[in-house]
Amino acid sequence: MRRTPIVAQLGGMFFVAISFMLLLLGYVAYQYTTASDTYENLITHTSANMLLLTKAQDDMHTGIAELRGFMAYSISSYDQQARKEFADSTQELKVFVSGVKNPEVKTEAVKLEKMMNEYSLKMGQLLDAKKANDPAFNTLLVDGRNLSQQIDQQFEKTLDLEEKFLKISINELLQEQKNTKQIVVLLSVFIILLVSGLAFWYSKYMANRLHSVRNEMDAISRFDLTATNRLASVNDEIGDMTSAMTEMKNALRALVIHIRQNSESLAAASQELSATVEEQLRAAEVISNSIAEVASGSSLNTTNLTDMSHTIQELSASTEEMNANAFEVNGNTQNAVDEAWQGMYLLTQIVTQNETVADSMKSITKAANSLAQG
């Protein structure tokens, strides 16, 4: 199983959260960059084109005013200024047509440019006719007046279309920004909920794992080794703790089984020892009775009997001590496993005492034989 430390798990969760936030930030940056470019285009081109169109119309009106001044006063400067204003208006319309993006506005602008070229040409002819007193002057004047009215109408129509296009563009941009704001809010809420849900799920997941570890440790502290061993689901620090507790439970189980087996063997040995001591006590009692009978008929062996009595007293004391030690060993081995070694030590003492008893028995037997012979 591939190891995934808790630090890596937390880092992955934060990486996901940061990735979503960066994605949202990138989307917002893209939308606002697009909106900025659109605003720049509107200001740089559409608004500038409207100003250029208005200036072309003003130049035409200025040219007409200069034309009227020339017709009234026949001053050549008015003639030159009128021609210049008409030429400027025509040039400005050419620039306007080249910068128009909207197809509908461009169509009307092309018409306006043609009409202005024709009007500029007719006004030049009108000025020439005025200078030459040409009879066609009146006809040219009427045609020019009608054409100027048509041009003014075309100017207004083109300007209205350009304003309409500007308003539509601004409204679309505002609506797009509104939609972007709504999308950003929705995405922000979604990301917050997603990150919060992810954090809640991970915290609950870690809490459940830690709760399981705590239950395992609590069971082990109460020496409850009956629970089923848990396998580590994730190779991380908590998984290491779970594996370590499983190994500890297995070791404790093996130790308990070993102690139980040794305790049973020790208890059986203690019972056998108790039976042996009881038999020795009965044998000592028989010997004591025999010695008493011998002593009642043998006054000459008082000294030997006294020695035998002391020996028997020592034997009784040793036997009683052996019996007490045997019962003490038996009780201690069954009550506490920790006192098993003390029981073994007592058993060693008992064995030594048994040897002492055996030696004493030999002495008593020898003394009894001496009494029998005496």
Q: Encode pLDDT of 132-188 as tens digits.
A: 988 889 998 999 999 999 999 999 999 999 899 889 988 988 898 899 999 999 999
Contact call for residues 17 and 130 (beta carbons, < 8 A): no
The pTM is what? 0.53
Measured between alpha carbons, how far is 219 from 284 in angstroms, rounded to an integer? Answer: 54
3 state DSSP class of 78: helix
Which CATH number applies to 253-373? 1.20.120
Kindly report, residue by residue over 285-303, the tens digit of the pLDDT: 766 665 556 555 545 445 6
Check residue 10 and give its pLDDT.
87
Residue 58: predicted pLDDT: 96
DSSP state of 230: P
Estimate to the nearest angstrom the gap between the alpha carbon of 99 and the chain centroid: 54
Predicted confidence band of residue 305 (pLDDT cuts 50, 70, 90): very low
Q: Is the pLDDT of residue 358 over 90?
A: no
Please report, rounded to a whole number, the percentage of residues in the chain having pLDDT higher than 70: 73
Query: What integer pLDDT is reported at residue 255 of this predicted model?
Result: 83
- pLDDT tens digits for range 365-374: 565 466 556 5
Domain map (residue ranges) of the chain: 6-208, 253-373
Angle at CA of residue 79, ends 75 and 85, nearest 5° = 140
Q: What is the pLDDT of residues 225-274, one digit of tens each?
A: 777 777 777 888 888 888 887 888 788 778 878 888 887 777 776 677 67
- Top-tier CATH class for 6-208: mainly alpha
Which has more confidence, 242 or 91?
Answer: 91
Average pLDDT of span 103-115: 94
Handedness of CA 10, 15, 20, 24 (dihedral sign): positive
Higher-confidence residue: 308 or 126? 126
Lowest mean pLDDT across 11-20, 53-62, 315-324:
315-324
Query: Which range has the worst mean pLDDT, 50-59, 66-75, 203-212, 264-273?
Result: 264-273
pLDDT digits (tens, 9 = 90+) for 317-338: 655 665 565 456 456 546 554 5
pLDDT-based confidence at residue 17 (cuts at 50, 70, 90): confident
pLDDT of residue 70: 92
Contact 334, 328 (CB under 8 A): no
207/213 Cα distance (integer angstroms):
10
Mean pLDDT over 88-104 rounds to 92
pLDDT at 92 over 50: yes
What CA–CA distances, in Å, run from 30 to 45, 168, 185, 218?
Answer: 22, 22, 16, 57
Largest CA distance in the chain: 199
- In this predicted model, which residue has the larger pLDDT, 71 or 337? 71
- Identical topology for domains 6-208 and 253-373: yes
- pLDDT attached to residue 326: 46
